[in-house]
Amino acid sequence: MGEEMKIESLGDFLKEAESNRTERIKKSQWGYWKYNPNNLTLEIAKKGAYPKSNPYYVDLEQCNTSAEMLDWIFQLKNKTWCSDKDIADLLRAFDDLMDTVQGKVCSGGINRRFNFKKHLLKNINPILKK
Domain coordinates of the chain in residue numbers?
60-129
What are the pLDDT tens digits along the chain (130 aa)? 444 555 566 566 556 656 788 888 999 999 999 999 999 999 998 876 665 667 789 999 999 999 999 999 999 999 888 999 999 999 999 999 998 888 888 888 888 899 999 999 999 999 998 7
Report field, pTM of the whole predicted structure over 0.95: no
* Secondary-structure breakdown of the chain: helix, strand, coil percentages, each rounded to the nearest 5: 55, 10, 35
Model pLDDT, residue 28: 93
User: pLDDT tens-digit profile of 23-33?
Assistant: 889 999 999 99
